[in-house]
Amino acid sequence: MADRQNVNRPEPITRFLFSDSREGLLWLPLRAWQGWQWLRPGIGKVDSAAWTGDQAGAAVAGFVNGALAKAAGDHPDVQAWYAWFLEHAVLPNAAVFGYLVAYGEVLVGLALIAGFVTGIAAFFGTVMNMSFLLAGTVSVNPVLFAVGTMLVLAWRVAGHWGLDYWLLPKLGTPWDPGPLFRSRRTAVVS
């Protein structure tokens, strides 16, 4: 019976890494590094005409065409379903995706560095990493994906040494809204 009671309890190391606010210092350098890895190229893209300027979408179109070339052969780097998505959704809207990627990288980078809604920022970073990986681009993306996934799991404490220290208690969680949402919910119900 004792074993059954412990089934739903996280192991002490898991609880320590992902729930103990003292571990905010462990996550701080990883979070800041990850943020810098997004911010630096994002700023370069925002300043580039091929991403957000008068030629917006040219860089995305080049990237997508390169990925589509990797979708052929016996062992393609890009799976057929993702190649279809790139060809039919991304390529016709390359300019929009150029802005999304450029500003998305900047926003994810700034949020991670500042510790602002860290879990959400890390989630969107991992979505971009997975998109790049599915398009056949390895580079630093597997490392960024792994660190981003850890930051998503550590959302409660990863931003403790940042703006989340003040923000998360006010926001709360979906299952236990904080004062910011409780006052709105009360006003709506009344």
Report how many domains make up the chain.
1
Helix 94-114 vs helix 118-134: angle between axes, to the nearest 10 degrees?
A: 140
Q: Is 102 contained in some domain?
A: yes
Check residue 9 and give its pLDDT. 64
Query: Does residue 112 fall inside a structural domain?
Result: yes
pLDDT in tens, the chain (190 residues): 455 555 566 677 766 666 777 788 889 999 999 999 999 999 999 999 999 999 999 999 999 999 999 999 899 999 999 999 999 999 999 999 999 999 999 999 999 999 999 999 999 999 999 999 999 998 999 999 999 999 999 988 999 899 999 998 898 877 788 888 876 555 555 5
Is there a domain that residue 14 lies in? no
Instruction: Name the token pair of 44.
Output: 């370069």
- Domain presence at residue 72: yes
Q: How far apart are CA 50 and CA 115, in angstroms?
A: 30
User: Is residue 151 one of the residues assigned to a domain?
Assistant: yes
Would 140 be classed as within a structural domain? Answer: yes
pLDDT value at position 125? 97
Residue 5: inside a domain: no
Domain residues for the domain of 54 are 24-189
Q: Are 17 and 154 in contact (CB under 8 A)?
A: yes
Does residue 8 sit within a domain? no
